[in-house]
Structure 1
Amino acid sequence: MSVPRRPPALLAAPLLALVLLLTGCSSDPAPAKAPVGAPGRGAAGPESDAAPARRASSGQDAGPAPGRSPAPAPTAIPGLGPETLAKIPAETRQVFVVTGEDADANRSSAILYSREDPVEGWKPTAGPWDAHNGMKGWTDHHVAGDLRSPTGVYTLTDAGGRLPDPGALLPYDEHPRFAVDGEGFFGEPLEGSFDYVVAINYNRTEGVSPLDRTRPLGLERGGGIWIHVDHGGPTQGCVSVPEDRMRELLRTLDPALHPLIVMGDAETLGR
């Protein structure tokens, strides 16, 4: 079912079961349809540093000119290894890094980095913030109902929530269907969890409401993986941060800077 980009808030809030079916904390058991793409597009990373010039006479590295210091290397994002960094496109200027304590942990830390000058590299601009992820930790092959968050690098293009737009730079869909109630894994109330959300482009179509249920990889691979308001406990696959941090994130993520999320356990992201 496709949801209009800016539907009027006329519908009554659905029951929890319907909301969870439509969200990242959901399980979609229907048969898969043929994939049309993979999550985390843009595997081409930043251009590598040019090879140092060679001395024509000796074949040795030329080194810095006399009296000059070598140029400092651009600042990398701490904790991200070469394989992970290579998946960040050159045009990306904002990266939201969510690092899990370990592969089976449901607690994580989130930091927003920006890169205004490619020569200077990445700088932290917000965080670290306490965050939650899937109840059973992380996985590099997420399937519906596994209670794990998918590791990887994914673009961020669409936002929404039950509450009015707080000043988001990404397209924002205010809709009553983001309402939720009930209890989490440890009895914590879920109400307000989807007051603000940012869709993580895992197994979804970019440029539509987070409520859209199109699953390019098939329903069995799960979907509706979001960044949303933390309810004080682990999620069914989403990433959650405190409400004030969600508002800050929505006001900061800029589509002109091609923002994306890098998410996973520390060991995986360090590769």
Structure 2
Amino acid sequence: MRRLLVTASVLLALAGSLAARPAGPPPLPERLADTGGGTQLITAQAPRADSTTGTLTWWDRRGGGWVAAGSAPARFGANGLTEGATRVQGTNTTPTGLYDLPYAFGIEAAAPGTRHPYRRVGEGSWWCQDNLSRSYNRWVEPRPADCRPEEAEHLVGYSTQYARALVIGFNYHRPVRGRGAGIFLHVDGKGATAGCVSVPAAAMNRVLRWADPARRPHIAIGTASGRTAITRY
């Protein structure tokens, strides 16, 4: 009997200890101001605004909560991150904010299981970044005369980075001239990006297999705290 009483006392003490232990923070998506209204979300978080590395995590909404489906190391702009609403083109900064993912593209064929609309890159594929062009911040094929080649990316020339990618809807639906063009989630190159978010090739393939346009995935980009905190978006 004494042994049973001692055992019961130990169990009660453990239960009390566990109950007193503070709960951990809720999953990151639950701390964001907005997640885009869908049931899939990508978060790209850097420690500080001047960081060039951080973490990309992709999430599913299940049973009223968010569950991480995968994560990978991420790279950001060579000059860090900046508020997307006031970003200036050519600054090599990654725009913070919440954006949709209009479509995927790549030099290679779509990864098996890809459900996003997927455009295959060819010799005539360009992304126009010319502020004077009617095609500003758009895929063009062929390149129109009003989009100067020195103000556009010849997509096929980035065989590593654009092997497979997702378009990030920054400044895309209603482009503001001078704010920036051609912001993608793509495969890592040799170092920091010119403003995109990049991940290892294996992670890019996993994201493309995971992303389901019917579930309205978005990407939230930001920092752990401060004016560009990811929780603001």
What is the TM-score of this pair, normalised by structure 1?
0.60
2:24 counterpart of 1:77: no
Provide the rounded CA distance (Å) in 2 between the counterparts of 1:242 and 1:165: 16
Q: Quick check: 1:117 aligned with 2:63?
A: yes
Gaps of 5+ in 2: 1-22, 126-154
Counterpart for residue 78 of structure 2 = 135
Deviation at 1:101, TM superposition (A): 2.0
1:265 paired with 2:198, answer no
Whether the aligned pair in 2 keeps the contact of 1:79 and 1:266 (CA below 8 Å) is: no
Aligned Cα root-mean-square deviation (Å) = 1.9
CA contact (8 A) 2:30 2:66 kept: no
Match of 1:180 in 2: 157
Between structures 1 and 2, the one with greater helix share:
2
- Is contact 2:33–2:231 with CA below 8 Å preserved after alignment? no
Larger strand proportion, structure 1 or 2?
2
Q: Could you say what secondary structure the match of 2:208 adopts? A: helix
Distance 1:117 1:202 in 2: 30
Cα deviation digits, residues 151-185 of structure 1 (max 9, x gap):
0111113000111111311100002233225xxxx
Alignment of 1:230-245 (within 5 A): 230-245=188-203
Give percent identity, aligned residues only: 30
Q: Secondary structure at the match of 1:115?
A: strand
| Runs of 4+ residues over 3 Å off in structure 1 | none
**Aligned counterpart for 1:158 among listed residues 103, 114, 121:** 103
Q: Secondary structure at the match of 2:166?
A: strand
Q: Is the Cα–Cα contact under 8 Å of residues 40 and 211 in structure 2 kept in the other structure?
A: yes
Q: Rg bigger for which structure?
A: 2
Do the aligned partners of 2:44 and 2:220 also contact (CA within 8 Å) in 1? yes
3-state DSSP of counterpart to 1:151: strand
The residue type equivalent to 2:181 in the other structure is: G
How far did residue 79 of structure 1 move?
7.6
SS at match of 2:62: coil
Shift of 1:223: 1.4
Q: Structure 1: where are the runs of 5+ without partners?
A: 1-72, 182-190, 206-215
